Amino acid sequence: MTRQNVHISTMVLAVLIALGLPLVVHSPTYLHIMILLYLYAYLTTSWNLVGGFAGVLPLGHAVFVGIGAYASTMLYLQYGVSPWIGMLVGGVISVMIGVLIGLPTFKMRGAYFALATIAFGEGVRVMIENIDYIGPLKLNGPRGLQIPPLNVGLANMLFLDKKPYYYIILFMLIAVLALTWVISRRKLGYYLNAGGEEPEAAMALGVNVARCKLMAMAMSSFLTALAGTFWAQLTLFIHPKSVMSLDLSFEIAFIALIGGRGSIAGPVLGALLLRPVSDFSRIYFGDKLPGLHLIIFGVVLILVMIFQPRGIQEPLTRAYNKLVDRIVSRRARGVLESA
Amino acid sequence: MFGLLEDSINGILMGSIYGLTALGLTLIFGVLKVINFAHGSLLMVAMYAAFWAVTLTGVHPYVALVLVVPFMYLFGYYLQDIIIKPIFKAERDVREPVTVIIVTTGVWYVLDNLSLLLFGPQYRALTPNPLRGKMLEFGGMMVSVPKLWGFVAAMLVACAIYLFFQKSRMGRAIRATSLDRDAASLMGISQYKIYNIAFGIGTAVAGVAGVALVPFYNVFPSVGVLFDIKCYIIVVLGGLGSIWGAMLGGIIVGLIESVGPQFMTATWTEAIVYGLFLVVLFVKPSGLFGARADW
C-alpha cells in the first residue's frame, strides 16, 4: 500500500461517513448542528482563498453572505425565480462588489486592509438597514425578509426535512475543498502563496501579485455568496443583523485562523473543533451562561496564536503523517518478509 | 440656524470624548505599531470599573478617576506583558504583525463576553447621579454639563500626554522606541518594558474616557463595540499615531453625528461616517492632516 493509497482511502472513508450519517442520525437538532458545521467549514474554506492563500486579513466577508442571501430571496419572493438561479445572480453581484473592494484595498498593508474590510462590511449593513425599497425591489430595512415555506421541493430549494439541506451543503463543501485543492496545486496557488509571504520578491520574479489577489477575491466572494443563498433557504428568515453581522465575519476568520490559514484541512478542522463548542454551549448553557462559547472561542484563539501560530492543523497533520508512515512501513516489511 | 449651532457645540463636546477614547488607541499604535482591536473592550472595562467604584463607594462620579486610572494602567500593563509580549517576541522580524491583531481580537471577545457573564446584559446607569441630565444654558442654548467636563478632560489629557512625550525622560524613551526599536535597545532602553508602559498609558487614557462617559452613558457588555469602530475610523481620519489628529478626527465624527440628523434620517449618519472613512483610507491613508505614517 503506497502513501497515496492511504490518503485516498482516508478521504473516501471520511466522505462515506459524512454521506451515511443521516441514515443513523435522525434527530433534526443534531442534523442541524451538522449542517451548520458544514456551512461554516464551507464559508471558512471560501474565506481561506483570500485570507489564507493571499495572506491578507479580510474581516468583512459577511457582506458576501448577505448579498447572496438577499439576491436570491428578493428574486424568489418578487419574481418567483428559483433560488438555484438566484444563487448564481448573487454570486455574480458578489464578484463585482468583491473586485470593487479589492482594487483599492489590496495595496494596503495588514491592519489597514482589515480595517477597510470591517468598515465596508459595516457600512453596507447600515445601508441595507436604512433602505426599504430599491426601485421596485423590497429590502424591508432592519425587519428583513421572510420566505414562506410553500411550494417545497428541489426546484425551490425548500424542504420540510433537514436531510436534503444536509446533502446540499455537504456537496457544496466537497466541491469547494476540491476546488481549493486544485488551485493550490496550480500556478495561481503558488503565485498567491508567494505574493502573501514576500510580495516584493514575488513581484521581482514577475508575478502580478495584485491580479492574483483579485482573482482569489473574486472566487472567494462568489463562493461565499452561494452559502448566503443556502443560509436563506435553510433559515427562511434573513435580516441585516443575521446575515451581515460583524460577528459572522469574525467567526469565519476565527475558525480559519484556529484551524490554520492557508491550509486545505485547516478550515474543516477548525469548524469541527469550534462549531460543536458553540452549539452545545448554546444548547446547555445558553440561558444560564450567555456568551460562554465566545469566551471559549477567544481563549482558544489566543492560546492557538501563542503556541501554534499555524493553527491546529499543523500538529494534527504531523500526527496523521506519522500514522501513515507506520502503516506504509509495516506493509513494506510484511511484503519483504513474505518474499 | 440656531439649532444647528447648538447641535454643533454638543457634537464638538461629544466628539472630543470620542477623540479621548481614540487617543489611547493611537498612542498604543504609535509605539507598538499594532492596532489594538480590544481597545473598545478596555473602554468597557473602564466604564464598568467607574460604575462599580461609584456605586459601591458612593463618591462623586469624577472622584472615581483616582481608582479607575491606576487600575486601568495596571490592567493594560499586564495585558501587554502576559498576552501580547510572547507574540511580539515570536514575530519580531515580521513586517506586518497580523497575529497581534488576531490576539487582540481574541481579548476583545473574552472581555466582552466575560462581562456579559458576570454583569448580565442589562443597561446600567448610575443611580445617585448628580450630573444626570444637567444642562448649562447660555444665550438660549442648552449644553450638557457632563459632556462639557468630558471635553475639558479630553483637552487636559491630550496636553498632558503631549508634554509627557516631549519633555519627560520616559516620554523621550518611548518616542525613541517608537522611531527605531533596535537603536533604542542599543541605547539601553528596555524595549518590552516600554511597550508595557505605553500599553498601560493607552489603557489609562481609556480609563479617563470611561469615567467621563459613565455619568451620561449607559454601561453594558457590548458598549465597547460602539466605540471600537468609531475609534478606528477616528485614528485613521486623524492619522495613525497622531495625538492631535485623534482629537480632531473625534470632533469631525462627533459633528457628523450631531449635525447630520438635521438633514437626513439619524441612522444614515453612521453610513456617512463609514463612507468618509473609506474615502480617506483610499485617497489619503496617512490621514486628513497628513500625520507621518511610516508604513
Q: Which pLDDT does position B295 carry in this prediction?
A: 32
Q: Is the Cβ of B79 closer than 8 Å to some Cβ of chain A?
A: no
Amino acid at A272: L
A182 burial level (CB within 10 Å; 0-12, 13-18, 19+): exposed
Calculate mean pLDDT across residues A150-167: 85
Which of A305, A306, A307, A310 has the most B C-beta neighbours within 10 Å, making it the best mutation to test the interface with B?
A: A305
For B78, residues 6+ apart whose C-beta sits below 8 A from its C-beta are: B196
Find which of A167-176, B182-191, B278-287 is predicted with most confidence, using mean pLDDT.
A167-176
CATH code assigned at A233:
1.10.3470
Strands (DSSP E) found in B183-295: none
Mean per-residue pLDDT, A76-101: 91
Which has the higher per-residue pLDDT, B65 or B264?
B65
B107-142 pLDDT per residue, tens? 998 999 899 888 888 888 887 777 777 777 777 777
Mutation for A interface: B29, B35, B113, most A CBs within 10 A: B113
pLDDT of residue A47: 93
Listed residue (A218, A217, A239, A252) closest to A43, CA to CA: A252
A92 class by beta-carbon count within 10 Å (0-12 exposed, 13-18 middle, 19+ buried): middle
From residue B11, how far is each of A251, B5, B206, B256 by CA, in Å? 34, 10, 20, 8
Q: Is B116 on the interface with A (CB under 8 A)?
A: yes
Interface of B with A in 198-227 (CB under 8 A): 221, 225
- The H or E element that residue A307 is part of is helix A292-307
pLDDT in tens, B34-44: 888 899 999 99
The alpha carbon of residue A91 is apart from the nearest alpha carbon of chain B, in Å, by 24
List the single range of A3-17, A66-80, B86-100 with lowest mean pLDDT. B86-100
> Is residue A301 less than 8 Å (CB to CB) from chain B?
yes
The total of other beta-carbon atoms located within 10 Å of residue A89's CB is 19
Taking the Cβ of residue A178 and every Cβ of chain B, the question of whether any pair is shorter than 8 Å is answered with no
Are A111 and B34 within 8 A, CB to CB?
Answer: yes
Contact residues, chain A, for B277 at CB < 8 Å: 119
Say yes or no to pLDDT of B149 above 80: yes
Residue in chain A nearest B108 by alpha carbon: A298
Q: Considering the entire predicted model, what is its pTM?
A: 0.87
Inform me whether the pLDDT recorded for B294 exceeds 50. Answer: no
Question: A139 and chain B: CB distance < 8 Å anywhere?
Answer: no
Beta-carbon count within 10 A of B248 CB: 21
Interface contact flag, B277 A127, Cβ < 8 Å? no
> Are A301 and B109 a contacting pair at CB < 8 A?
yes
Dump pLDDT digits (tens) for A307-334: 887 888 888 888 888 888 888 887 777 7
Mean pLDDT for A269-283 is 85
Residues A18-45: tens digit of each pLDDT: 888 888 888 888 899 999 999 999 999 9
Nearest chain A CA: its distance from B267 CA (Å): 7
CA distance B149 to chain A (A): 30
Where in the sequence is the domain holding A106, given as residue range(s)? 3-338
- Going from the C-alpha of A275 to that of each of A243, A250, B4, B70, the distances in angstroms are 17, 14, 50, 39
Q: CB-based contacts of B23: which residues, under 8 Å, 6+ apart?
A: B154, B157, B158, B161, B202, B205, B243, B246, B247
CB B202 within 8 A of CB B80: no
| Owner of C-alpha cell 497580523 | B98
C-alpha cell at B275: 463612507
Express the helix, strand and coil content of chain A in percent, nearest 5 each. Answer: 80, 5, 20
8 Å CB contact of B281 and A108: yes
Structural domains of chain A, count: 1
Residue B211 clears pLDDT 60, i.e. is over it: yes
For the segment A71-99, the average pLDDT, to the nearest whole number, is 91
